[in-house]
Amino acid sequence: SADKYTPISPVDNFFELIRAGNLSAVLKLINDNTLTMQEIKELMCHPLCSCDSCEKMILNMRRDPAAVTVFSRDALGCTALHQAAEFGCVDILYELIKKGAIINATNYHGSTPLHYACQRGHHKAAVILSHYGADINAADNEGNTPLHLAVSHGHVVCAEYLCSQECESRSKSKPNLDAVNENKETPLHIASRWGFSNLVYLLVINGASLTILNKENQTPKDCALNTKILDLFLQATSEIGKEELSVNGLESSNKQNSKELIEGKISPTKFLLNQAFVPSNSSKQSVEFSQLLKAVADGNSVLVREKLGLLNESCNLEDPDNGFVDESLCHPLCQCNNCLTVQKKLVNMATVLNANMTNAEGITLLHVAALRGHEVIVKLLLREAEANPNVFTLSNKRTPLHFACQYNNIECVNLLLKKGAKTNVKDVNGNTPLHFCCTNGHVESAILLLQ
């Protein structure tokens, strides 16, 4: 005979709604609850008690709709806050916190909601949790901190946040980069073993120890399995702080810019912008820039705006200096006009990346955006960030227009031409953008070049 159908419990239904991101349904379940928070606390020894009496009461209440609260737990001991953090449901996360959810609640594995957010790479969830008092150095039953989990899963943005001054300011505590888990391994050991070069570099420049030994008596360097990571450690021991961002103007374009400056064709200000001056803190800056390049490649215009210190297009704000601005945010991710103004001021206080910076190969943000065909970012870089459309790469001397034509990104070609991209510039092999159009049969882009 067929197995008897077992109806889903109210608590399981509650958690399913959280995982689905159904904010209105989640709030309705909580608000319709017949038991108040105080009554729940009075019924239990304390909200996180797991004694036999409280466990039995919880089991008996699991199918009672009144049991659906922010303290409800699943079979693994996870609370509603764990669920919201794991699935990156920041709106639900915020509402649960407002209704009294315990920020540092642990499940049976010793994991907090912040562990879950960092393990899954939900940066915004990590920001909210740390802002409301999450312990950024909490260790689970295996000794792993949120940073261990962010690193082991390759979540650079989360790891970057945990290492940042912003996180320290929000959480009122300094991240322990040298925390060891049950294998005596730091986050740097893990990043080294898995070959996450960006994370290795991030941890090293933020002061992670290079000499801590794990259970196998290995330093982070000993865990490295490829030469790229070994090279990073060699550099760290001898050249930490050395500039890694190249100056934007390559030799040929530098000479041209200098000539134009002398002839009065460009202003001294524009000339300096074209050189993409590299600030003295270039080691951290290079990590930021590598993340910015990835954001451009992924088409993440929101992160690009954030990194470049640009306001959202929809934001039409007056100068905050013209009147009083309340310095308190509604909540860490609020986008109302007042909070956007405050965030604008904070961004202006921080180090902002330059759209004309390059990596070691001379590649700019505009090269990547043109190659990938991200026209929104190309427009943003050209119109708002004053990106140079005629910059060359180091090895092959190609401009963004070369790449846009090579991959037939028609709208990018159009935007570059409108901003003064040169059509007859030659790469190292003597090829112009038109050569790439003709070689690849890109008629539409060729027509734009010939107009």
| Three-class SS state of 417 | helix
pLDDT at residue 16 is higher than 60: yes
Q: Are 442 and 404 in contact (CB under 8 A)?
A: no
What's the pLDDT at 62?
53
Give the model confidence (pLDDT) of 102-141 as tens digits.
999 999 999 999 999 999 999 999 999 999 999 999 999 9
The pLDDT of residue 248 is 35
pLDDT average, residue stretch 147-155: 95
Contact 171, 133 (CB under 8 A): yes
Residue with more model confidence, 200 or 287: 200
Q: Which residues of 287-322 are buried (b: 16+ CB within 10 A; e: fewer)?
A: bbbbbbbebbeeebbebbbbbbbbbeeeeeeeeeee
Looking at per-residue pLDDT, the higher value among 239 and 334 belongs to 334
The residue among 52 and 105 whose pLDDT is bigger is 105
Residue-level pLDDT at 38: 54
Predicted local confidence at residue 203, as pLDDT: 92
| Percent with pLDDT over 70 in the chain | 73
The domains of the chain are located at 10-61, 80-241, 282-306+333-449
Q: Are 136 and 112 in contact (CB under 8 A)?
A: no
Write the pLDDT tens digit of every residue in 367-414: 989 988 999 999 999 999 899 999 998 878 999 999 999 889 999 999
Query: Mean pLDDT throughout 30-43?
Result: 60
- Give the three-class secondary structure for 123: helix
Question: What are the pLDDT digits (tens) for 211-233?
Answer: 999 999 999 999 998 888 888 88
pLDDT tens readout for residues 77-101: 999 999 999 999 999 999 999 988 9
Quickly state the pLDDT bin for 299 (edges 50, 70, 90).
Answer: confident
Q: What is the CATH number of domain 282-306+333-449?
A: 1.25.40.20
Query: Which tokens belong to 294?
Result: 């990835």
Indicate the average pLDDT of the chain: 79
Separation between Cα atoms, residue 209 and residue 206, nearest integer Å: 9
315-345: per-residue pLDDT in tens?
Answer: 443 443 433 334 456 766 666 767 766 655 5
Count the residues in the chain: 451
Question: Is residue 40 pLDDT above 60, yes or no?
Answer: no
Looking at the predicted structure, is the pLDDT value of residue 73 above 80? yes
Segment 186-194 shows an average pLDDT of 95
- Contact predicate 340/374, CB 8 Å: no
pLDDT at residue 199 greater than cutoff 90:
yes
Same fold, 80-241 and 282-306+333-449: yes
Cα–Cα distance, 383 to 404 (Å, whole number): 17
Confidence (pLDDT) at 250: 34
pLDDT score recorded for residue 259? 45
**Options 3.40.190.170, 3.40.50.9100, 1.10.1060.10, 1.25.40.20; which CATH number does 80-241 get?**
1.25.40.20
Mean pLDDT, to the nearest integer, of 179-191?
A: 96
pLDDT of residue 117: 96
Three-class SS state of 79: strand
Buried b (16+ CB within 10 A) or exposed e, 371-391: bbbbbebbbbbbeebebbbbb
Would you tell me how many other CB atoms lie within 10 Å of the CB of residue 343?
19
Distances (CA, A) of 322 to 318, 319, 374, 375: 7, 6, 36, 35
Query: What would the pLDDT profile of 357-368 be if each residue is shown by its tens digit?
Result: 888 778 899 998
The CA distance from 126 to 335, in Å, is 17
Whole-number Cα distances in Å, 185 to 87, 195, 206: 27, 15, 17
